[in-house]
Amino acid sequence: MSDAPLPHESGPAAGTPRVVPATGIQLRDVDQDALRVLSRLQRNGHEAYLVGGCVRDLLLGRKPKDFDVATAAHPRQIKRLFRNGRIIGRRFRLVHVVYGPHVVETATFRADPVAPENGSDEEPGDLLITEDNVYGSAAQDARRRDFTVNALFYDPSAGEILDYVDGLPDIEAGILRTIGDPPVRFAEDPVRILRAIKFATRLGFRIEENTWQAMCSHAHALSRSAAPRVAEEILRLLRSGTVLGAFRMLRASGALATLFPEIDAYLGRRDDPDPAAHDRADLYWRLLEALDADIHAGAEPTPAVLLAVLFLRVVEHKSEAGGGPAAALAADLIEPLATSARLPRRAVEGAKRIIAMQHRFTQPWTQSPRRVLFLHSEDFPEALHLFRLRSAAWGQGWDVYEGWLERHRHAREMPESELAGLRRRGRRRGGRRRRRGARADSPSADAADGSDLAG
């Protein structure tokens, strides 16, 4: 693409923003690095604003997580102004301006993608966006964003908010609404369904009726979305502190049945008259509620713990019904995510192992080498975190959790020489079992071998 300056549109087609004083925003609440980026761009003749979630959160009195910049400058022009900038992305090229550990994401104004030409691989009428590097004006950039509350521009130097899409009234009313025709916007990018749920639950906003209906009618299209993007949004929901409301909304919209059919089947129909079905669903919701409470208390669960929370009750229910050992069931459910969603292998393998370990916490404690080595296993802290969430969710086992927590504290004080002796004893016992025909396990078998996990 050329780096030639973009012509300013004029007349009704360009649109005129509603400009209001940013009286509710204090400059001290704005990231200083983002202000540096804006200042340099504007001094060099480029239109530039803060945009998106940071503007929304500042207006709502919330602390923004990130400060993003949108500008008329093209990526290579931005890069020339910032030696500390690097161009990233293919589907959506932008510049990361780096200040030490901090990154200011700086993107060029975008316009709607050009319709595919005849002979393209895309089917006629297919609205799914696969390329997104068509540059445009500020007005075009605002209109191509997902929701009105995320499309506001803030110019700190002028102290003004620019609103091209009536986002300000929706922020004041607490309404989440798509920009443009809802069915078209969700057909273009079905992942917007997950983003709508994330914003609605996190901000406490009501989803506008036409937007909600389009979410429900396009939930099936999530199966066509890039699996890594879907997985990223699901992990964000799990870390949000509002996952209970989010997953209820996923279920109500039909998105849960598309993304996680096993979980949807476990929860059953909402109008099921069988009390056992309601009790089963209640156990799942209580576990998500415990996760929310844990995050609000300051905990930072690992991806392995988050994935385990997602599937724990489904695995246990199938195992209790005679479907097989928990380890095998967890592998069947979670393993496909490693390839389809390209989730970190460590998180997937960790989730499988800590689900399989849960029954060990309720077994009688003995001072056997294997029990002591379990306390020193790499997966123990995550497994105990999951057990803590279970205990909090179901109102039982908290004394058991505290007992294991105390044993873990003592185990960490064990001299290394004593621990090495226990490991040698464990290996000798493992060797005798293998001579009787048992399968040789991985090195981690010293801490949690397969026979012990089977119960």
User: What DSSP character marks residue 360?
Assistant: G
Encode burial over 346-381: b for 16+ CB neighbours within 10 A, e otherwise: ebbbbbbbbbbbbbbbeeeeeeebbbbbbbbbebbe
Is the Cα torsion angle 196, 201, 204, 208 positive or negative in sign? positive
Q: Which tokens sit at 429?
A: 């016992």
**Is residue 166 annotated as part of the catalytic site, yes or no?**
no
Encode burial over 262-278: b for 16+ CB neighbours within 10 A, e otherwise: ebbebbeeeeeeeeebe
User: What DSSP character marks residue 110?
Assistant: B
Could you report how far apart the first and last alpha carbons of the chain are, in Å? 62
Is the Cα torsion angle 268, 273, 274, 275 positive or negative in sign? positive
Instruction: List residues bridging with 162 in a β-sheet.
Output: 19, 153
**Strand pairing of 48-51 and 94-99?**
unpaired
Catalytic option among 66, 112, 126, 441: 66
Q: Which tokens sit at 158?
A: 């002028």
Catalytic option among 57, 141, 146, 446: 146
Q: Are 92 and 86 in contact (CB under 8 A)?
A: no
As a whole number of angstroms, the distance between CA 175 and CA 205 comes to 5
**Is residue 66 annotated as part of the catalytic site, yes or no?**
yes
In the block, tokens 């099936």 appear at: 220
Q: Which tokens sit at 259?
A: 């993304």
As a whole number of angstroms, the distance between CA 360 and CA 383 comes to 10
As a whole number of angstroms, the distance between CA 255 and CA 251 comes to 6
**Is residue 68 annotated as part of the catalytic site, yes or no?**
yes
Catalytic option among 3, 33, 57, 68: 68
> What phi and psi, each to the nearest 5 degrees, are found at residue 135?
-85, 150
Show which residues are catalytic.
66, 68, 146
